[in-house]
Amino acid sequence: MAKIKFTFEDKNIEPVTIENAEAGFSILEITEDHDIHLNHNCGGVCACSTCHVYIHKGEDDLEEISDKEEDFIDRAINPRLESRLGCQCIILDDNADIEVEIPDQSRIIGHEH
């Protein structure tokens, strides 16, 4: 099973490590399954930028970024070189070791679970 460590731009939220993430699922789906708050207005179909995250480790174990995803990242708050959309980060390897930082969600108006 893949390991994903979630850290948060909002330092009031403690880091969370998921040790049992399965290949074939997206970072967004993992957050939903483990009650980690990540906005997602479009429902995870790469039609907005609210599930914007920063990938600090393990990018090679995720599906490659598409042109469409890059276009939406440009619309995100504070995009960086390590920016991705959680809905498009499909885990490719069950042995992946990934580190994800979730931007401050209080600045985003979006769907909450």
Tell me, yes or no, whether 49 lies in a domain: yes
Q: Domain limits at 87?
A: 2-98
Tell me, yes or no, whether 109 lies in a domain: no
HEC secondary structure over the chain: CEEEEEEECCCCCCCEEEEEECCCCEHHHHHHHCCCCCCCCCCCCCCCCCCEEEEEECHHHECCCCHHHHHHHCCCCCCCCCEEEHHHCEECCCCCEEEEEECCHHHCCCCCC
Tell me, yes or no, whether 64 lies in a domain: yes
Specify the number of domains making up the chain. 1
When pLDDT is averaged across residues 98-102 and rounded to a whole number, the result is 98
| CATH value at residue 72 | 3.10.20.30
pLDDT tens profile 1-33 = 999 999 999 999 999 999 999 999 999 999 999
Does the pLDDT of residue 112 top 70, yes or no?
no
Tell me, yes or no, whether 6 lies in a domain: yes
pLDDT tens profile 37-79 = 999 998 889 999 999 999 999 999 999 999 999 999 999 999 9
Tell me, yes or no, whether 50 lies in a domain: yes
Tell me, yes or no, whether 107 lies in a domain: no
